[in-house]
């Protein structure tokens, strides 16, 4: 059965005769069809059934198609919605597109036009999309949409919570575009000081400011014939937003201290983990720049909203990280996979990757059980090895991945050689392991018993410390 034949379609139409005719057309074409006479009934069906696409009339009572669309966007952000209307109402069409409608069908329409419209939104099968892990219907729809916009040069705005994989989607768009042979250049607008961001973006000429001893091309020029990713664009200062708007409008950039504009042939992808419309309302983001970037918006669902991806992603990270450190053949127990699926993942895919890495270290053999995940108290799963332990953090509140955590934390939070403000978990862990190893006169057997870890984990840690210059055999 093809992907299009597997589509399940919901028709929302208050005209009973037309609703029946549309359903008959789709059923004859081999589709599974549900129907509703109004918006509230449509929402009930969406809760009970797995729907691939919604085709809804605009003018209905008591809930019109625009209101239904907004409700669907809140509850099912990746579900395609096509609106149909017999009225040439431009204002409502604009409102609908801004609210997330995929397209319009003008009544009356031919059966072929209806089928063609639906086929545009057929979900690819798991495995058909390369370079990404996508098994959940929400992810399949997401990358299906991303693949379609990749064939154009439209500016894309990716939004979603922190850690959902916005850069992964951006790279997918680039790799599936006509610009794939060109560069993919990413810049995090939140990570660069305001004083340096303009020069980093636009480049500068020799002598433009103190320290500019040579001319330097900016990120825009570096992305020529390729794709530029403006990550966390809402963190950009207002003054610089005005300059960015001009670059996007004119498709040319002028270096700091320069006088000759450079023409640009690039594709722009922007990301944000904020509500950009709210940022516009609060006056921290320019409205004109928002609409310039919001040509093709894609909301990336949180990991908890695509649960079928959780275990495949965890297995992917297990293989990837195992290959990097030479630990092959590790696997999750069914109980561990059930625990992964049940977790809320407030840190999204980034948190999942961290949990898998720590679980590999904690496992005593090639099998990872739920006890190795550290999800019960939510602390290990929420902190990465690089998170800073501040002086205000009680030792008991910090979850270390070793049984002697209390003694370890108490000893090291008072360390005289390094202040607690810049002491991080990785440093504390290393110092504790080396301290125990010294106390047992280098006996690895005694050290693993004291530490409560496996010998393989200790070997891996000592190999790391040796490479970093902290340990000599």
The residue out of 301, 319, 338 marking a domain boundary is: 301
CA distances from 159 to 233, 273, 437 (A): 10, 6, 47
**125-169, pLDDT tens digit by residue?**
665 566 788 888 888 888 888 888 898 899 999 999 999 999 999
The most confident of the ranges 95-104, 123-132, 264-273 is: 264-273
- In terms of domains, do 83 and 230 share one? no
**308-318, pLDDT tens digit by residue?**
999 999 999 99
Collect all residues with Cβ–Cβ distance below 8 Å to 407 and sequence separation of at least 6. none
The residue out of 282, 301, 320 marking a domain boundary is: 301
Structural contact between residues 86 and 41, judged by C-beta atoms closer than 8 angstroms: no
Q: What is the pTM of this model?
A: 0.62
10: nearest Cα among 160, 146, 118: 118
pLDDT of residue 436: 83
- In terms of domains, do 295 and 146 share one? yes
pLDDT of residue 292: 92
156-159 vs 32-36, strand pairing mode: unpaired
Residue 165 lies in a domain: yes
pLDDT of residue 185: 95
CATH number at residue 431: 1.10.8.60
The residue out of 236, 266, 301 marking a domain boundary is: 301
- 34 preceded by cis ω (within 30°)? no
Task: Report the C-alpha gap between 164 and 141 in whole angstroms.
Answer: 15
Residue 124 lies in a domain: no
Residues composing the chain: 473
pLDDT of residue 123: 64
DSSP tag of 391: T
- Chain centroid to CA 4: 27
pLDDT of residue 398: 31
**15-33, pLDDT tens digit by residue?**
999 999 999 999 988 889 9
Query: Which tokens in the block code for residue 285?
Result: 């983001």
CB count in 10 Å sphere of residue 397: 10
**What pLDDT band is residue 37 in, cutting at 50, 70 and 90?**
very high
The mean pLDDT of the chain is 81
- In terms of domains, do 416 and 345 share one? yes
Collect all residues with Cβ–Cβ distance below 8 Å to 332 and sequence separation of at least 6. 311, 314, 315, 318, 340, 367, 368
Residue 204 lies in a domain: yes
**What pLDDT band is residue 464 in, cutting at 50, 70 and 90?**
confident
pLDDT of residue 168: 94
- In terms of domains, do 458 and 397 share one? yes
CATH number at residue 265: 3.40.50.300
- In terms of domains, do 394 and 273 share one? no
Task: Report the C-alpha gap between 392 and 383 in whole angstroms.
Answer: 16
Please name every residue paired with 10 in a beta bridge, in sequence order, or none if there are none.
34, 54
- In terms of domains, do 107 and 193 share one? no
- In terms of domains, do 463 and 344 share one? yes
- Residue 414 lies in domain: 307-467
User: What total number of domains does the chain contain?
Assistant: 3
Residue 242 lies in a domain: yes
**50-94, pLDDT tens digit by residue?**
888 899 988 888 898 889 988 888 888 768 888 887 765 556 666
Residue 472 lies in a domain: no
Contacts 24+ apart (CB under 8 A), 174-177: 174/150, 174/226, 174/227, 174/267, 174/269, 175/131, 175/150, 176/146, 176/147, 176/150, 176/151, 177/150, 177/151, 177/227, 177/267
pLDDT of residue 434: 83
Residue 396 lies in a domain: yes
- In terms of domains, do 167 and 104 share one? no
Residue 248 lies in a domain: yes
**360-403, pLDDT tens digit by residue?**
888 878 889 998 898 865 443 333 333 333 333 333 333 333 43
Residue 128 lies in a domain: no
**What pLDDT band is residue 226 in, cutting at 50, 70 and 90?**
very high
- Chain centroid to CA 321: 20
- In terms of domains, do 398 and 421 share one? yes
- In terms of domains, do 34 and 49 share one? yes
- In terms of domains, do 96 and 143 share one? no
- In terms of domains, do 166 and 314 share one? no
What is the mean predicted confidence (pLDDT) over 179-197?
A: 89
What is the mean predicted confidence (pLDDT) over 23-49?
A: 92
CATH number at residue 31: 3.40.50.2300
Cβ density class 348-380: b for 16+ within 10 Å, e for less: bbbbbbbbbbbbbbbbeeeebbbebbbbeeeeb
- The answer to which of 207-211, 226-230, 301-305 has the lowest mean pLDDT is 207-211
Structural contact between residues 10 and 52, judged by C-beta atoms closer than 8 angstroms: no
């Amino acid at each position: 059965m093809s992907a299009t034949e597997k589509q399940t379609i919901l028709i929302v139409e208050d005209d009973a005769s037309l609703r029946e005719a549309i359903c008959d057309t789709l059923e004859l074409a081999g589709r599974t069809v549900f129907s509703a006479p109004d918006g509230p009934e449509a929402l009930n069906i969406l809760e009970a059934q797995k729907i691939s696409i919604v085709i809804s009339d605009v003018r209905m009572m008591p809930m019109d198609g625009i209101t239904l669309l907004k409700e669907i966007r809140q509850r099912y952000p990746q579900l395609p919605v096509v609106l149909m209307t017999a009225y040439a109402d431009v204002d409502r069409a604009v409102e609908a597109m801004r609210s997330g409608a995929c397209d319009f069908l003008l009544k009356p329409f031919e059966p072929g036009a209806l089928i063609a419209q639906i086929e545009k939104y057929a979900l690819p099968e798991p495995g058909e999309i390369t370079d990404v892990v996508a098994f959940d219907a929400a992810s399949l729809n997401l990358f299906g949409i991303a693949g379609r916009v990749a064939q154009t040069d439209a500016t894309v705005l990716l939004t979603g919570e922190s850690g959902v994989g916005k850069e992964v989607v951006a790279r997918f768009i680039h790799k599936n575009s006509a610009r794939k042979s060109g560069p993919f250049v990413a810049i995090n607008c939140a990570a660069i000081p305001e004083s340096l961001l303009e020069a980093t973006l636009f480049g500068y000429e020799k002598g433009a400011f103190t320290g500019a001893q040579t001319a330097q091309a900016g990120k825009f020029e570096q992305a020529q014939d390729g794709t530029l990713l403006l990550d966390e664009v809402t963190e950009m200062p207002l003054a610089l937003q005005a300059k960015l708007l001009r670059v996007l409008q004119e498709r040319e950039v002028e270096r700091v201290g320069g006088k000759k504009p450079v023409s640009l042939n690039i594709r722009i992808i922007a990301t944000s983990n904020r509500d950009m419309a709210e940022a516009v309302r609060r006056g921290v983001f320019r409205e004109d720049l928002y609409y310039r970037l919001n040509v093709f918006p894609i909301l990336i669902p949180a990991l908890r909203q695509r649960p079928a991806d959780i275990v495949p992603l965890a297995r992917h990270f297990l293989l990837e990280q195992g290959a990097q450190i030479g630990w092959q053949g590790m696997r999750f127990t069914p109980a561990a996979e059930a625990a992964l699926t049940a977790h809320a993942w407030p840190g999204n895919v980034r948190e999942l990757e961290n949990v898998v890495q720590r679980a590999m270290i904690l496992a005593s053999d090639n099998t990872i059980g739920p006890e190795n995940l550290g999800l019960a108290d939510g602390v290990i799963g929420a902190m990465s090895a690089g998170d800073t332990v501040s002086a205000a953090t009680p030792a008991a509140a910090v979850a270390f991945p070793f049984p002697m955590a209390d003694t370890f934390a108490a000893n090291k939070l008072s360390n005289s050689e390094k202040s607690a403000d810049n002491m991080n978990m990785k440093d504390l862990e290393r110092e504790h392991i080396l301290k125990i190893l010294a106390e047992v006169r280098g006996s690895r057997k005694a050290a693993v018993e004291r530490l409560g870890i496996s010998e393989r984990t200790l070997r891996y840690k000592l190999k790391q410390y040796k490479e970093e210059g902290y340990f000599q055999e």
